[in-house]
């Protein structure tokens, strides 16, 4: 082995030692990035859980207007995107004034919360959708049939609260139905 070969090997060994000495710092940086990514993922999971999974609630108990408006928007969206296109028998029972009936809003809210628990919860069992279809959906359909029959058939309200115009549109935003307040 020549002096040049030895010098090259020595230089290679030094370069490898330097690379090895830098390795803990690099590993720390990777670990920090992984930790940050894990924290972000956990935070995202909490946000999704908070946004999608709701426990049963009673509208008058909702603490503030902002939360009430957010929940109302979720209920209306669920009716439009789930009930109307996917469950025509229940949708057929809805009268245009459904939102003006306290009992109907309660039925829809309970079915919505149950649907969220069965279709959006990480803890939902594999047969939760079947349970919702066999339990909550028939109860909702029958309840809507009973509470809105007069409005569908006679175009006239027969409810326990003062109501407005049959042709009024579902409120969205700050002008939520007063019946939500109790």
- The predicted-structure confidence for 153-172, as pLDDT tens digits, reads as follows 656 655 544 444 444 566 66
The pLDDT value recorded for residue 44 is: 43
Predicted TM-score of the model (pTM): 0.61
Side-chain half-sphere CA neighbours of 107 within 13 A: 25
Q: Band of the pLDDT at 113, cuts 50, 70, 90? A: very high
Tell me the pLDDT tens digit for each residue of 118-164.
888 778 888 888 999 999 999 999 999 988 887 776 566 555 444 44
H helices of the chain, where?
Answer: 3-52, 65-78, 84-86, 88-93, 102-119, 128-131, 137-154
Q: pLDDT for 16-68, tens place per residue?
A: 888 778 878 877 776 877 676 566 545 444 444 434 456 788 888 888 888 88
29 CA to centre of own chain: 35
What residues does each domain of the chain span?
1-52, 57-181
**CA-CA distance, 25 to 51, in Å (whole number)?**
39
Q: Are 177 and 100 in contact (CB under 8 A)?
A: yes
pLDDT digits (tens, 9 = 90+) for 56-106: 888 888 888 888 888 899 999 999 999 999 999 999 999 888 888 888 999
pLDDT (0 to 100) of residue 64: 83
């Amino acid at each position: 082995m020549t002096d040049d070969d030895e010098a090259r090997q020595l230089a290679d060994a030094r370069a490898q030692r330097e690379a090895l000495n830098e390795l803990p710092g690099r590993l720390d940086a990777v670990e920090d990035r992984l930790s940050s990514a894990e924290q972000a993922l956990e935070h995202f999971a909490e946000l999704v859980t908070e946004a999608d999974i709701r426990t049963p609630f009673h509208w008058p108990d909702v603490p503030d207007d902002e939360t009430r408006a957010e929940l109302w928007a979720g209920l209306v969206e669920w009716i439009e995107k789930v009930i109307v296109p996917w469950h025509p028998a229940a949708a057929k029972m809805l009268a245009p004034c459904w939102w003006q009936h306290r009992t109907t809003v309660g039925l829809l809210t309970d079915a919505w919360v149950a649907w969220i628990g069965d279709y959006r919860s990480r803890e939902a069992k594999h047969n939760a959708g079947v349970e919702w279809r066999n339990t909550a959906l028939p109860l909702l359909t029958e309840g809507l049939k009973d509470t809105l029959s007069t409005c569908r058939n006679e175009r006239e309200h027969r409810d326990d609260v003062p109501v407005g115009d049959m042709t009024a549109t579902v409120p969205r935003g700050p002008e939520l139905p007063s019946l939500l307040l109790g």
